[in-house]
Structure 1
């Protein structure tokens, strides 16, 4: 029986780790103390059944990650640069509001943020490629051009935001998250020195998934028409769940093959993108990630 597969996410001044049953976020407050936010992962039978269906399970996983990840990011953001003694005001503000509305709005915002981002990322390159339809013609040429602009948009956006101080810190915590997972999967004791020796790249990373949506999309779009233009727009929208689902399957496959000679190269494009989405963390950031992961392990064993 293999090890449990753990996932994670960088949050503002911290890291969230998750297992099949639990989620834990550790953040460093401005008084240098480490604080936790913990929750059980809801286990609904109908959701678990959907997770067993190829392609569909990828879409379910993405929606879950958006909803649950939003809660942990909200927790961290609420406390960013806030005096811990002032935390009581956070709770009183939420208690005075309608909690049902807060939960619902969190879910809606999480899903809408993902969908809007995906629509922009999918459709903008289509319109740009169409501008060159008089120069680059044919099905293959248009799909290839669309994919090129999509990669350009993805890489340019990530590179541009990486210069902002908060995003740079977020990418460092992202690197710390990967280092901890890699150290754990290598059966190393989770000390700062041991963790820092490991790679900041990981095969199961969501960054790899994003890149795979571009590459998988290129293949899928070769089998659907690009003319007339409105049909092209329509099939791009309708195929979003298919592309996402297939990309999730590719991500899982590359993770399974990462130790197989020759085949491990399939996951390399995703790893290369992580050179942009992760940065080398400081020891203090690795310490936070270790605290988060150890707290998750304690919950799992309880």
Structure 2
């Protein structure tokens, strides 16, 4: 079966596991400390008006981010709680209380980092910060460098890109985030193997790239590129640093909406010679936000995907 006739699935990495979103259910598989794989299954219930908005170009991207944020947080919390239980299972009650407090504090950072890379929960807050800070920084440091506003916009985009790359690189060097990014890679490999019509075994899945055109990391890089283009339009000129910042914030939904359409477009063209290169900026960013997974991590991703597909089939038969 070709990719074009197969269902399109997405997912996200969670702590020691992977979540996949099906048509009727979202499923997370997490590997516990004793090697047992446990599942968290949540039926998908989306109000009709949200489903209607998701069919509207330019609007569906923003709606999808918000919807994913709400649903993805449940699965992240499940994985975090499961991890915390495993880490404190052999401790005394006093040590458990202290460790849980420490773990929640530490994992809150890990969640923010991992989720920002996948494009849920903290994406809106992170995007606001990543939009306003570079604009203000460029205005303060390079006010008189260019007479043309396009030059300022390009430099602003470069500053934004540098901040993003340095942030992701530093985070990817920590053991916690490295494992999260390995599960991110495992998620991509499973989707690619499925889209290629492969039997989902560990050896088959491992043959595929950890990079995927339809990734939230690609979406992030497209918002930087699209933002530079939109801000350079003459109608969005500015005179003061404050005008520059609030124009960026007001245009954020527009930037997100267009970037989502660009992401869909590059994914649709990924098998077309020459045009496939349009998606390469997103793939390059994924070199930071994904890592090569181990076999046991791929096995968790396969288990999550198979369970999602099994439940989706059962629910479709009942519908």
Tell me, in whole angstroms, the C-alpha distance in 1 between the residues paired with 2:230 and 2:180.
Answer: 33
Count, aligned residues: 280
Residue 26 of structure 2 corresponds to residue 23 of structure 1: yes
- Unaligned runs of 5+ residues in structure 1 are 87-109
Determine if contact 1:34/1:288 at 8 Å carries over to the other structure. Answer: yes
Determine if contact 1:4/1:19 at 8 Å carries over to the other structure. Answer: no
Return the TM-score normalized by structure 2: 0.84
Tell me, in whole angstroms, the C-alpha distance in 2 between the residues paired with 1:251 and 1:188.
Answer: 25
Tell me, in whole angstroms, the C-alpha distance in 1 between the residues paired with 2:241 and 2:173.
Answer: 37
- Unaligned runs of 5+ residues in structure 2 are 90-118, 315-319
Determine if contact 2:62/2:256 at 8 Å carries over to the other structure. Answer: yes
Instruction: Determine helix, strand or coil for the equivalent of 1:15.
Output: strand
Q: Which runs of 4+ in 1 moved over 4 A?
A: none
Tell me, in whole angstroms, the C-alpha distance in 1 between the residues paired with 2:272 and 2:28.
Answer: 33
**Aligned residue for 1:206?**
216
Task: Name the CA shift for 1:117/1:2 in 2 (closer, same or farther; >3 Å).
Answer: same
**Aligned residue for 1:116?**
125
What does 1:190-205 correspond to in 2, within 5 Å?
190-205=200-215
Tell me, in whole angstroms, the C-alpha distance in 2 between the residues paired with 1:162 and 1:51.
Answer: 32
Instruction: Determine helix, strand or coil for the equivalent of 1:10.
Output: strand
Correspondence for 2:188 among 160, 172, 178: 178
* Aligned-pair CA distance for 1:34: 0.1
* Aligned-pair CA distance for 1:111: 8.3
* Aligned-pair CA distance for 1:25: 0.3
Instruction: Determine helix, strand or coil for the equivalent of 1:80.
Output: helix
Q: CA RMSD in A?
A: 1.8
Tell me, in whole angstroms, the C-alpha distance in 2 between the residues paired with 1:31 and 1:212.
Answer: 40
Determine if contact 1:21/1:300 at 8 Å carries over to the other structure. Answer: yes
Tell me, in whole angstroms, the C-alpha distance in 1 between the residues paired with 2:297 and 2:152.
Answer: 44
Correspondence for 2:282 among 264, 270, 280: 270
Tell me, in whole angstroms, the C-alpha distance in 2 between the residues paired with 1:119 and 1:165.
Answer: 28
**Aligned residue for 1:236?**
248
